[in-house]
Chain A
Amino acid sequence: MQFDGDLVEIRFGAGLSPLQPRPASAEQMLTRLQGADEMAQRFPVSSLEDAAAGVREFRRLSKDRKRQEGQRGYEAADKAFKSYRRAHNLARFGWHGQRLLRHVHARDGFRERLALFWADHFTAQGKSPAMRVLAAPYAESVIRPHVAGRFEDMLIAAATSPLMLHYLDQNRSAGPGSRVAKRRKRLSGLNENLAREVLELHTLGAGGPYSQADVRQLAELFTGLTVSREAAFIYRPGMAEPGAETVLGESYGGGKAELEQVLSALRDLARHPATAQHIAWKLAVHFTSDTPEPALISHLSARYQESGGALLPVYAALLEHPAAWETDLRNVKPPFDFVASACRALAVPEARIAALRPGQINRLLLAPLTPMGQRWEFSGGPDGWPEEDGTWITPQALAARLRWAMAVPRRLAQPLPDPRVFASAALGRFANERVQFAAGAAETQAEAVGLILSSPAFQRR
């Protein structure tokens, strides 16, 4: 295998940048991945814990406003709530700008890609106005610290995070025989949503070796995982179903209800061979093509099993396999990656993003993702975004990409680069003859830049 700096930055990284040298070797990429998360330090995003404090304040002010209804203090309470709600929602735009800047400036673009990949694998979304902004803080605290670690640690972090528990309705699930249920509280019963998605999406995969009985048993085992009034994770033994549960033939608990039993089941699921296969397949699809080579999948799966789910060796297996180095560009970049890699190619200055008001960030960089088919942080379901190229390049979504590429770059990079220079900055050795021709034949500089970004050579990786 010939290490190819242009290809590696496009396929495994955040795209080519005029500011950053290409990685020199796979070893260098893996070493950087083990080092400090430079971009998270330079462009911070709130932690889940800090953001949860915001959720509490949101709820407090909302409750206060309700209490004041019809009374003299209502106007002030209403004003306080609305101004807080505005700031709360606008924070999301600021975090979006920070995450884009990470893509622009990253030396280890592979980390940015992996952070996106795993946040999508463990999709979690807020379903109430107070919780709706938490997706970025969730990715920051739950996903990012584990991308170069062990899969089981990431699984446990996700399955016990307040956002996931809220998203998949686990927070209210109580065992029918639990103490809480015996007190006949309203809404005290089992909900199997999280258990099902952990098996189907997060670990074994939809075709995996589990049955409805396993779903049910895991749901019973999960009872007690919930969210405190302070919007933090808490294990409440009083909600846990008494007795042992059997998941995939393995028995858990039986004595006093304890969190450790749940974690132990999650670890076993993480180490299951079907999980290795499922994760290997997902990585191969994401980084190579919609129909990855079976040899690559088995190579990754074998490494996953050898490493006990340690992820760095799996990434090393990916970077060493010839199937990952096919030189034709295949996968279509999803909308976020398209916009982020365009910003990277344009070398959008930090000061430019900093100068944008939150509403402008939304208008230029976030809202346009929706007509491209990706309402960012609100995928249609817990399975996250699709990988198939055809789902992204529909007439309406391609039109949205072209509209963005023609209109927005001039607002982000002033002056726009010379199109011929930009073609090779953005595409390196993939700037083919058609791209170079279009760069020179367009009527305006903005159209030329837009056309370069619209070329299949830029939109595929």
Chain B
Amino acid sequence: MQLTRRSLLTRSALLGCSLAASPLVTPVSFAAAPWDTRLVVIILRGGMDALDVVQPYGDPEFAGLRQSLSGGPAAGAGDLDGFYALHPALAPLQPLWRQGELGFVQAVSTPYRDRRSHFDGQDLLEAGTAGLGEASGGWLNRLLQQMPGVEARTAFAIGQERMLLLEGAAPVSQWAPGAGLAMSPQAERLAGLLMEEDPLFHNALNEALELTRQDMSLGGLDGAEDDAGAGMMDLMKAPKGGAHTGIAAYAADQLRGDTRVAAFSINGWDTHFRQASGLKAALGRLAETILELRQGVGPDIWGRTAVAAVTEFGRTARENGTGGTDHGTGGAMLLAGGAIRGGRVLGRWPGLAEADLYDRRDLKPTGDVRSYLAWLLHGVSGAGTAALQANVFPGLDMGGDPGLLL
């Protein structure tokens, strides 16, 4: 191919046309969203200790297992229902519980067993399959593949982290707030030309340019940018602490428009040592995130919002020798939002007597976290149970409807 300036101009005109026609840049206000209820999925990476978050203080074995990590209302936890109590760091969410906008499912897990690797555990949680390597991509993307009217803006993966659960054939968007790109029009065209034959780079570039325009129209970035040097450097500052609230605010912005699904992760749940301080910090971030979402979408959309926070596995029932807990099996999932039928801790409680534990060490899972997620997707999007069991979570038996939504 012989490239000349003339052929470049023709090519970029073509590129311009195809960009405008691409679903990525179709103005969102003209699109018909495929359903109304908003869904936010938060992956809690590191294995959250279900027993410390939703403390089964009514179980006679609990106090003995958790000696330095004592729990229950006597240690400052908020009583939920006379059996479970909420970790004090989630106290800011207690009003949501009282309003029926916060609930939990206790003692659930993926089918992942015995190896207790974070990375495999997370891959399986996000793949939504029964075993590792059974499908590429994630369950949330496969849901989108089932639904008519889905376009790239329907679902957003937010933040710098990879979100496997949204990977797959359905178009999705990803962005980190404040990541904008400001280039001269000529540099934009030439960058497009350079990347044109490399789909990975080309798609990412087009998305970045489009989302930058959107950020600018939201006032998130200073658009006037003539001395590329100084301005670019300002854009390059690393995100400061509190990134989780920035992500939540960005998610809320999108959910107020035509976006129906937002997914991101909150890290810091791997509490092998001195869990008391580590878990407190992580739960604080989780509570702030949920409150930021609620405030950001506003009361009307919050009433049509369901938030689900899930983790790859729980931790050992018994505290370890260093004030922490090691990798376990059964965990808890958190549900929040005005669309949630909250104020309840769902899930069948297996008990904490040694014989009731999984492998004599972990909380025994009595339910599959995927079936709760499947019922949630059913309620949120209207996807049929047959498609959910066959395609979204292949081979899953959803069981009875736990009635997660109002």
Interface residues of A (CB under 8 A from B): 168-169, 172-174, 176, 181, 187-193, 196, 200, 206, 211-212, 215, 332, 363, 367-368, 370-371, 373, 375, 380-381, 383, 386, 388-391, 393-400, 402-404, 406-408, 410, 433-435, 437-438, 441-443, 446-447, 450-451, 454-456, 459-460
- Contact across chains for A447 and B187 when beta carbons are under 8 A apart: yes
Q: Closest residue of chain A to B173, judged by CB?
A: A395
Q: Given A196-B116, A389-B200, A433-B1, decide whether A191 and B272 contact each other with a Cβ distance below 8 A.
A: yes
Smallest CB separation, B179 vs chain A (Å): 4
Smallest CB separation, B304 vs chain A (Å): 28
For this complex, into which size category does the number of interface residues on chain B fall?
A: 35 or more
- Contact across chains for B194 and A456 when beta carbons are under 8 A apart: yes
Q: Closest residue of chain A to B195, judged by CB?
A: A456
| B contact face: mostly helix, strand, loop, or mixed | loop
How far does the alpha carbon of A383 sit from the alpha carbon of B196 in the complex, in Å? Answer: 33
Q: Please, which residues of chain A bring their CB within 8 A of the CB of B222?
A: none
Q: Closest residue of chain B to A211, judged by CB?
A: B114
Q: Please, which residues of chain B bring their CB within 8 A of the CB of A389?
A: 200
Q: Please, which residues of chain A bring their CB within 8 A of the CB of B175?
A: 395-396
Q: Closest residue of chain B to A394, judged by CB?
A: B174
How far does the alpha carbon of A404 sit from the alpha carbon of B181 in the complex, in Å? Answer: 10
What are the 7 closest A-B residue pairs judged by CB atoms, nearest first? A189-B321, A407-B232, A396-B179, A395-B207, A370-B238, A399-B181, A395-B208
- Contact across chains for A367 and B194 when beta carbons are under 8 A apart: no
Of A188, A211, A386, A450, which contacts B321 at CB under 8 A? Answer: A188
Smallest CB separation, B57 vs chain A (Å): 23
Instruction: Judge whether B18 is part of the interface by a CB distance below 8 angstroms.
Output: no
How far does the alpha carbon of A55 sit from the alpha carbon of B197 in the complex, in Å? Answer: 50
Q: Closest residue of chain B to A364, judged by CB?
A: B233
How far does the alpha carbon of A156 sit from the alpha carbon of B207 in the complex, in Å? Answer: 46
Q: Please, which residues of chain A bring their CB within 8 A of the CB of B191?
A: 402, 438, 451, 454
Q: Of B31-39, B83-91, B322-330, B385-393, which binds chain A? A: B322-330
Q: Given A395-B204, A433-B1, decide whether A403 and B232 contact each other with a Cβ distance below 8 A.
A: yes
Q: Closest residue of chain A to B188, judged by CB?
A: A402
Q: Given A435-B194, A451-B194, decide whether A406 and B115 contact each other with a Cβ distance below 8 A.
A: no
Smallest CB separation, B243 vs chain A (Å): 10
Q: Given A191-B273, A380-B45, A389-B200, decide whether A181 and B228 contact each other with a Cβ distance below 8 A.
A: no
Can you pick out 23 interface pairs between chain A and chain B where the beta carbons lie within 8 Å of each other? A172-B273, A174-B321, A187-B68, A189-B320, A190-B321, A191-B273, A375-B238, A383-B118, A394-B160, A396-B175, A398-B204, A402-B181, A402-B183, A403-B232, A433-B3, A437-B3, A438-B190, A438-B191, A443-B184, A443-B187, A447-B183, A455-B194, A460-B198
Of A398, A443, A446, which contacts B208 at CB under 8 A? Answer: A398
- Contact across chains for B194 and A193 when beta carbons are under 8 A apart: no
- Contact across chains for B236 and A368 when beta carbons are under 8 A apart: yes
Q: Please, which residues of chain B bring their CB within 8 A of the CB of A402?
A: 181, 183, 191, 205, 208
Among the interface residues B45, B184, B228, B270, which one has the most CB atoms of the partner chain A within 10 A? B228
Q: Given A190-B320, A399-B212, A456-B201, decide whether A373 and B160 contact each other with a Cβ distance below 8 A.
A: yes
- Contact across chains for B321 and A451 when beta carbons are under 8 A apart: no
Instruction: Judge whether B186 is part of the interface by a CB distance below 8 angstroms.
Output: yes
Chain A proximity mask over B53-91: 1 for CB below 8 Å, otherwise 0: 000000000000000100000000000000000000000
- Contact across chains for B208 and A191 when beta carbons are under 8 A apart: no
How far does the alpha carbon of A410 sit from the alpha carbon of B233 in the complex, in Å? Answer: 12
Q: Please, which residues of chain B bring their CB within 8 A of the CB of A190?
A: 320-321
